[in-house]
Structure 1
Amino acid sequence: MEWGKFSQKEIEMTDVSFESGAEAVKLGEIGHLKITESGYELLEYDRTKILSVDGFDHAQKKWSYHPGVLNDKVVIQDAHTVNFVNGTAIITPLDKKDIIISRNGDEEEIAFAFPNVRIGSIIEYKVKILRTSNLYASPWRFQNSIPTISSQLFLNLATTADYKTILKGKQLNRKYGGKKNNKRWELLNIPSDNVIKNVYNPDDYREKLMYQYTSARLYYGSYYSENTWNGFRKLINNDIQKSKKGADFKEIANSIRNGSTKLETLRNTVRYLRDHYQWNRHTAVQSFNLASEFLKKKTGNTADFNIVLEEILKVKNIQSEIAVNSLRSNGRIIVAYPTFSKLQTLVNIVEIDNGEKLMIDAATSQPDNLRFLSLNHYNYIVLGLEETGDVFTVVSPPLSEFISQQNLTIEDENSQVQVTNRSTGYFNSGDFKPQIFNVFRGIQTNENTKKEPDEWQVNNQTISFENPANSFFVIENPLTKTLATILVEKDRDYPIEIDFPFLTTVILNTKLPENYHLESTNFNRKISAFNGALQYLQQVELKDGEPLLTWSLLINKTVFETGEIQEYQNFTSQLSAVFSEVAVAKKVK
């Protein structure tokens, strides 16, 4: 790929064969990565074509860096826009005065917008990026937010330290897996990361290269030189023990009222910490002197909060284990590749009444809703810190429930549906819309929502129909939209991750006049997978002489590894077949 020289195919391209409708496409990108004693240098050359108006955003570039940090710098070497008029290339170079540098605290951002961009423009840039990340870094992505025709990376190891490269993504591992001394990688026709669906963080499955030092002489015995999970566990435990010296946790515990249950005591403890101490918005696995810092200054990071919580619970005879967590936004802990970057925050795994275990972050858990910690915390596994316990513990959000009771009343001039929804857990988040489970769309005339004890929320609706005198009612499956969110591609070969486990039940009671009839041939169905962790039930029965229809879907397993995909797809395929069928309530005379 030569700067400013384009093939006829590139000039004529208006769509991407393997991702039709793309707003833009990377025609090619080349990276020259040099790992040094002090970090890395990346010379990046990028060529992109704008295919639609929506693609104009890709003609704006920005990078951030810390000017006060040695070897942290971004240098824009060249950039231009190329348009083709009657077969002639019209080149508009980037003017240096259009490069904008802004500062926010100790961080600077360098940005520019390509000039004279239109549909069909080809934009090119060269940039040199210097970073201090010499122990672990992920400097190159072969898969981007738009499809990529060609992505190449060349590696130059200019350091005496040992290191290993880590390849993520199915194409990279299929082509280069096992080639330990490889220094050149290239992938062709890579779809955008938009195709990576039903995962917590697309970056966990993106085609990319990472590198990690396997020894670091200057940091012997520290987090930077460690390369095993057990080693990290020992380092963190040592830091925790040091941080607790001189702190009187019993005095704090005695000032917190015990509840009638372990859950109530836990709630009182978390509320006390949230009321008396302030989170500084930092996640961390390291705490320093709790007595002179957190407990005295009343502010601290997530490690401070969670270490103190565990100590208070010990005094109150409530079992808890501190664990290391990497949030969904940070990417999943990779068991095969211990990395410092995944040591993000501490949480507590607390055992309450009847052996139930809750994951608690003392800095962010809501005292009145302890069971349902932010989903960002549930990233499949955590690293337990108890020396005698398993290294990793699987964590999953608690089950959320949604129950919708819908009563259809058919009258000659005023048919309507009364809906009562009861929900708990993540169904009570602000983003959730209960209307997606309405059997009939109609016109909603009124709605009200209120909270009930035991974490339940009640929503009432009255639905009227656009045609009140309608005499033909199609009863479609109210879980159709939910099914659409859990379907995956047929050739799926990477894990499936569902946001949270749930049980959704919709019950439709039909009060039909004598001259109406319900047609529901072969309606009753039951489907199950994974020993009942996934279940679907639909049935029609008579209650007080009236037809009662029920649809119920249970998804009580959230992560499916590659070996489980076939069973998962068999289950969803059966659902798709059943969901396509409808029942009908109609006037017969």
Structure 2
Amino acid sequence: MRLKRLLSAIAFLFLLQNYLLGQDKPNIKFGKISLEDFNLSKQIDSNDDAIVITDIGSAQYMSDYIDPIKLVYTRHRRMKILSKRGVMEAANVSLPIYLNGMKGQRITSFKAATYNLENGRVVETKVDEKNVYDDRIINNFHAKKFAFPDVREGSIVEFSVVIESPPILNLPSWEFQGIYPCLWSEYSVSIPEYFNFDFFPQGSLSFFVNEKGRDNFNMGKFMSIAITHHWVMKDVPAIKMEPYSTTYKNHISKIEFQLTELRLPEQKTYNILGNWPQICHDLMESDNFGAELKRNNGWLDEDLKIAVQNQRNKLEEAKSVYIYVRDHFSRKDGANIGLTKSLKTVLKDKAGNEAEINLLLVAMLNHIGINSSPVILSTRNNGYINPVFPILSKFNYTVCEAEIDSNEYYLDASNTNLDFNQLPAKCYNGIAMVIENESPREVAFLPDSLQEKKITSVFIINDSTGMPTGSYQSVLGKNESFELRESLKKETEEEYFQKLNSEFGTDLGMENPGIDSISKPEFPISVHFDFNLKLEKNSNILYFNPMQMEAMKENPFKSAIRTYPVEMPHTIDEVYSCTMEIPAGYSVEELPKSERIEFNEGNGYFEYIVSKSDTEIQFRSRVKLGKAIFMPEDYNTLREFYGAIVKKQSEQIVFRKNK
């Protein structure tokens, strides 16, 4: 009797769940748009540029008389555009696709349209398939891209696509969360027992529906069971990108899959995932990556004679080859870890993408007897990689490792603003893989290991008329020097100083501005100028902030809560000192108090020291953080630390006119 009641209760709860789900699930069909669909005022935030109404997808294996087994992926997304920015951004769509003949994917159905309200009726503008273009990303990985036509603020846009794949490709991943809020995100997969997948869920949001079941699957004469999964997230907030973040891809709620094993009936079991030694071997044998690195490459001799001339040792030779490649080859942008043309052609053209230039550097160093290897990595804006799973499509950048006298040097010759043994900060994103014959190894490029130090000095004296005049000099850290060199490719020094003057918040009357070592990446950049302070000399009271030129004016961490890590590109050590003569005819009435604030028991500190004599004031501020990555549990402490810095650096010295 009890068992019967229990089963009845379970059945009732199951029916209730299905009923509630049916009540919540939107009834969406492509092309069926009513006047009411445009009214989303209750769900819209005034700060949103667009809102996803529904995003519904499925991936299931199917069998027919043409294909014994294939993977069919469907997706239907509907959005409303809310702002001009949404018109520019959300109206452009990119669909990833793998093209490799019969081994690749194909789009079997595609529909897309824009809907606008005009004179009380819905007007549809369809996307012409002729306006869908192909963009090659890397090797066989492409993107089908299109823009919705006639998009305005208030438009509804939607697309529907069906993509068929060979069975050995991975299940498409699904992002429940993105840069726009989503009212309903749903994904279903059905996996026959012939396939083993690892699942990788990510994010902090909870599922509205998370179901697992079983279904029948027929493949010709073979009968089997398929495991089904059904996930739904409802009223999903947009990921809010905060300062010091790598990419939203690292933190959104999503699910990814990796095919690890294939067990087709009456066939042997295949290990699909592979392993790093095998992948490394395949890369080094590939004409698109490492095959040329193993050859004699005598065609390099002429250029190497120019690059290497009477250097004293291997380190000097390596530096000479690096500088030759860096300064004589033009970089063509392209997110690729391998070659799109032969190294010989790269040498002839004196141009290539980042990977091609750095692979050429590997070949040249090896040719003169310096053991060198390519290193593949994922940049900060491309997302983290998990080295346990050897998935090449997760990598997007290649650099060079050179071993000299038992020391490793990491080189990127694709940018003229980089020094020997300097990688751009974007490369410091965790684990990278050194590709060495059949023995790959990991190397860690951690932001915590990238130390950045900046020293700024200000001297202020009274000129012959009693007016304060001074000099400013700031020696930038290696990364900030690199960033300034990059920005000076796009703006003049005059424009830079105009912007700098406006950032100081007052007209300094800059004179003799200059920037040293712009074209010498082996040296830090020094920014310097003279200035005249414009004080109201007739005032009884003068106020002066000794950190006026470098004060942190606002806390970068404005949100009260942060659910993902703070990811700074490097550690921080900023020293600012100011020596100032007391303005003629005035005395110091009030000085800020010296203070030292520790951060997280030795992870950093803020120091503010001020003192005075009869004629001058000496001031020193230092902000030091010994780590770059902070977990969410450290966020409040970090936010309070920066808040204290902003408050203290806004304090002023008060001068009173002598009677």
Of 607, 627, 640 in structure 2, the residue corresponding to residue 557 of structure 1 is 627
Q: Deviations over 1:380-415 (max 9, x none)?
A: 221234677853423447433322222344678744
- Structure 2 portions without partners, runs of 5+: 1-25, 63-68, 137-141, 215-226, 489-495
Q: 1:294 to 1:92 in 2, by over 3 A?
A: closer
Distance 1:190 1:450, change over 3 A: same
User: Match for residue 158 of structure 2?
Assistant: 125
Q: Is the 8 A contact 1:380 1:559 kept in 2?
A: no
Q: What residue is the counterpart of 1:332 in the other structure? A: 384
Q: Give the aligned residue type for 1:31.
A: G
The reply on whether 1:33 has 2:83 as its aligned counterpart is: no
Match of 1:516 in 2: 587
Letter of the structure 2 residue corresponding to residue 30 of structure 1: I
Is the 1:327–1:376 contact (alpha carbons within 8 Å) kept by the matching residues of 2? yes
Q: Secondary structure at the match of 2:257?
A: strand
Contact 1:372 1:398 in 2 (8 A): no
Ranges in structure 1 where 5+ consecutive residues have no aligned partner:
none
Q: Which amino acid aligns with 1:370?
A: F
Q: Which amino acid aligns with 1:455?
A: F
CA pair 26-351 structure 1, distance change in 2 beyond 3 A: same
Question: 1:472 maps to what in 2?
Answer: 542
Superposition RMSD on alpha carbons, in Å?
4.8
| Residue 235 (structure 2) aligns with | 189
Alpha carbons of 1:299 and 1:101: their partners in 2 closer, same or farther (altered >3 Å)? closer
Aligned residue number for residue 361 of structure 1: 412
Q: Separation in 2 of the partners of 1:425 and 1:504? A: 13
Q: What is the aligned residue count?
A: 571
Match of 1:484 among 555, 572, 593: 555
Residue 475 (structure 1) shift:
1.4
Aligned-partner Cα distance in 2 for 1:179–1:559: 40
Residue in structure 2 matched with residue 497 of structure 1 by the alignment:
567
Structure 1 pair 438/102, CA: closer, same or farther in 2 (3 Å)? closer
Per the TM alignment, residue 506 of structure 1 is displaced from its structure 2 partner at its CA by: 1.6
CA contact (8 A) 2:258 2:273 kept: no
Match of 2:186 among 152, 155, 166: 152
Deviations 1:429-476 (CA, angstroms, capped at 9, x unpaired): 234978389776334433522324751222223444565436422417
Judged with a 3 Å threshold, the aligned counterparts in structure 2 of structure 1 residues 52 and 62 are, in CA distance, closer, same or farther, namely closer
Which of structures 1 and 2 has the bigger CA Rg?
Answer: 2
**After the TM superposition, which residues 443-482 of structure 1 pair with which residues of structure 2 at under 5 Å, given as runs?**
443-446=508-511, 448-452=513-517, 454-464=522-532, 468-469=536-537, 471-475=541-545, 480-481=551-552
Query: Are the equivalent residues in 1 in contact too, given 2:56–2:187 (CA < 8 A)?
Result: yes
Contact 1:245 1:289 in 2 (8 A): no
Mark the CA change 1:260 to 1:457 in structure 2 (over 3 Å): closer, same or farther.
Answer: farther
Q: Within the alignment, does 1:44 sit opposite 2:109 as a pair?
A: no
For residue 72 of structure 1, the aligned residue among 86, 99, 106 is: 106
Cα distance, 1:342 vs. partner? 2.2
Q: Distance in 2 between matches of 1:552 and 1:541?
A: 15
Q: Residue 258 and residue 73 in structure 1: after superposition, are their counterparts in 2 closer, same or farther (change >3 A)?
A: farther
- Determine if contact 1:419/1:462 at 8 Å carries over to the other structure: yes
Matched position secondary structure for 1:373:
coil
Identity among equivalent pairs (%) = 15
1:393 is aligned to 444
C-alpha displacement of 1:552: 1.6
Deviation at 1:526, TM superposition (A): 4.4
2:646 aligned with 1:579: yes
- Name which of 425, 428, 441 aligns with 1:378: 428
Give 1:144 shift.
2.4
Superposed displacement of residue 522, structure 1: 2.8
1:418 aligns with 2:471: yes
Alignment check: 8 A CA contact 2:280 2:440 kept: no
Q: Give, in whole Å, the separation in 2 of the partners of 1:84 and 1:297.
A: 55
- 1:391 alignment partner, SS class: strand
The amino acid across from 2:606 in the alignment is Y
Distance 2:606 2:370 in 1: 37
Structure 1 residue 490, shift from structure 2 partner: 4.7
Contact 1:43 1:128 survives alignment (8 Å): yes
- The 1:583/1:224 distance shift into structure 2, 3 A limit, reads farther
Tell me, in whole angstroms, the C-alpha distance in 1 between the residues paired with 2:100 and 2:277. Answer: 35
User: Could you say if the C-alpha distance between residues 285 and 484 of structure 1 is closer, same or farther in structure 2, counting changes exceeding 3 Å?
Assistant: same
- 1:44 is displaced (CA, Å) by 1.0
Contact 1:439 / 1:477 at 8 angstroms: preserved in 2? no
Q: What's the offset of the Cα at 1:360?
A: 1.0
Normalising by the residue count of structure 1, what TM-score does the alignment of the two structures yield? 0.78
Q: Normalising by the residue count of structure 2, what TM-score does the alignment of the two structures yield?
A: 0.71
Paired with 2:596 and 2:501, the residues of 1 have a C-alpha distance of 22
Counterpart of 1:13 in structure 2 is: 41
Provide Cα deviations, 1:239-278, integer angstroms capped at 9, x if missing partner: 6875444415796767613645766433211133346767
In the alignment, which residue of structure 2 is the partner of 1:537? 607
Which residue number in structure 1 is paired with residue 244 of structure 2? Answer: 198
Residue 225 of structure 1: which of 272, 279, 283 is its match? 272
Instruction: Return the offset for 1:498.
Output: 0.8
